[in-house]
């Protein structure tokens, strides 16, 4: 399968999950002209025009972090419990990070006016506090075992410095621990971020 990505972008979450689960993959970068590393028109693969995009073996295309991460977990039986509350907390955390954190990073990736950036900072600080409370004393966001929520959490924490929002201590400690995971180290090396 092919993971279309930009180095350090939100596709990093999917990249980490692929490594953690052991699924075979090929990374294909996208340039600013929306051409893939292997010469294809990215917009013909994904008309939405953004990453992550996962091309399956049969040519089917999946988009959106929540869906790709869940697909990876379901395909391998790893990083997402089959049943129980932890499964639903994992999916809940993915949805929360997608809507309340990822979306609020937009002002910092584009040239938004400062008042909009300040509103986004307030929302991000609140969302990070909620995640820190949810984490409590667990090793990872929703349990003591890593889930796909932690793959996405790593990326939202990785990008946090661009917003100027300080991370709660629990989240900063989690981020520091995750940076040492072999999957993260490998993903950073493969994306040229090391």
Does residue 106 surpass a pLDDT of 90? yes
CATH assignment at residue 132: 1.20.1050.10
Residues 6+ apart with CB under 8 A from 190: 15, 27
CA 154 to chain centre: 7
Average pLDDT, the chain: 97
Calculate the alpha carbon distances from 69 to 108, 124, 135, 172, 178 in Å. Answer: 25, 22, 20, 22, 17
Residues 47 and 121 in one domain: no
Summarised one tens digit per residue, pLDDT across range 131-189 is 999 999 999 999 999 999 999 999 999 999 999 999 999 999 999 999 999 999 999 99
Query: In this structure, are 13 and 46 located in the same domain?
Result: yes
Q: What is the pTM of this model?
A: 0.97
* 67 and 98 part of one domain: no
**The pLDDT of residue 133:** 98
Q: Please give the tally of structural domains in the chain.
A: 2
- State the Cα–Cα distance between residues 69 and 71, nearest whole angstrom: 5
67 and 89 in a common domain: no
How much is the pLDDT for 194? 86
14 and 69 fall within a common domain: yes
Cα torsion through 85, 91, 97, 99, rounded to 10: -120
60 & 92 share domain:
no
Q: List the Cα angle 35/3/57 in 5-degree steps.
A: 105
């Amino acid at each position: 399968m092919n993971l279309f990505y930009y180095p350090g972008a939100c596709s990093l979450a999917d990249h980490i999950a692929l490594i953690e689960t052991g699924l075979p993959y090929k990374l294909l970068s996208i340039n600013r002209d929306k051409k893939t590393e292997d010469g294809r028109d990215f917009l013909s693969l994904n008309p939405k025009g953004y990453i992550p995009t996962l091309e399956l073996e049969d040519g089917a295309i999946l988009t959106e972090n929540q869906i790709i991460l869940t697909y990876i977990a379901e395909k391998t039986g790893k990083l997402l419990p089959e049943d129980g509350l932890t499964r639903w907390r994992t999916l809940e955390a993915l949805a929360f990070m997608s809507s309340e954190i990822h979306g609020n990073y937009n002002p910092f990736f584009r040239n938004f006016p400062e008042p909009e950036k300040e509103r986004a900072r307030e929302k991000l600080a609140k969302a990070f506090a909620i995640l820190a409370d949810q984490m409590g004393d667990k090793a990872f966001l929703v349990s003591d075992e890593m889930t796909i929520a932690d793959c996405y959490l790593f990326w939202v924490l990785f990008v946090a410095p661009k917003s100027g929002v300080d991370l709660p201590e629990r989240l900063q400690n989690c981020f520091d621990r995750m940076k040492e995971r072999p999957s993260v180290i490998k993903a950073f090396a493969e994306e040229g971020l090391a």
